Amino acid sequence: MSTTTHLMTAEELMNVDDDSHRHELIKGELLTMPFFGEEHGAVTATLMAMLGLYVKANDLGVVFARTGYKLETNPDTVLGPDISFRTKDRVGTIKDDYFCNPPDLAIEVRYSRENPEQRAEQWLAFATKSVWLVILDQRLVEVISATGERKLFDESDELMDDTVPGFRVRVSEIFD
C-alpha cells in the first residue's frame, strides 16, 4: 500500500487563506508557524525602520518586510525572512509575487532556543550574501557572510556589514 503526499506549489501557497499563521514552503511541504510576540515585533520594526531610512536616503535598493522568496522549483521552496534587502540593481519591477532569487541580505529575529543557525544556513545555501541573526534573549547580532566570515556584535558595538555600504547602528538602539 502506498500513500501519495501532495506537494504544494508556490502559487498554491500564495492563495492560502489563513491569516492566523505564517507559512513557508520547504521542498513543497507547508510549514505553518504561529505569529511572533511583542518583543519580536518591536525589535523587528525598529531595525527595519533604521535600515529602511538609510537605504532609501542613500538610494541603495529596497528593504522588505516578511516578503517571500521562491528559492527552489519542483518541489518549491519559499522562505520569508523578517527583513530583507535587495540592492538597487537587483530589485527590478516590484510585483505581487515572490522574488525568484534570494535577497542580498536576510535578517532573522529569533530567540536562541529557536535554532537561528539553521535559518542562516538555509539562506546562505541559496546564495544570500549576508545573514543577520538578531538574538533577542542575548541582545546580540551575529553577521554571517557567504564567505563564512562571522562577526558577533553586542550592545556596546556598532553593527555594520558591507552588504549595506555605510550602514552603522549601535546594537543597543535596536533593542531599545
Q: Is the peptide bond before 102 cis (omega within 30 degrees of 0)?
A: no
C-alpha cell at 34: 504561529
For the chain, domain boundaries: 39-175
DSSP 40-73: HHHHHHHHHHHHHHHHHHTT-EEEEES--EEEET
Q: Give the CATH fold of the 39-175 domain.
A: tt1808, chain A (3.90.1570)
User: pTM, whole model, 2 decimals?
Assistant: 0.89
| 150-153, strands of its sheet edge to edge | 61-65, 83-87, 105-110, 130-135, 140-145, 150-153
Q: In tens digits, what is the pLDDT along the chain, a chain of 176 residues? A: 445 467 988 888 888 887 777 888 889 988 888 788 899 999 999 999 999 999 999 999 999 998 999 999 999 999 999 999 999 988 766 667 788 889 999 999 999 888 888 889 999 999 999 999 999 999 999 999 999 999 999 999 999 999 999 999 999 999 98
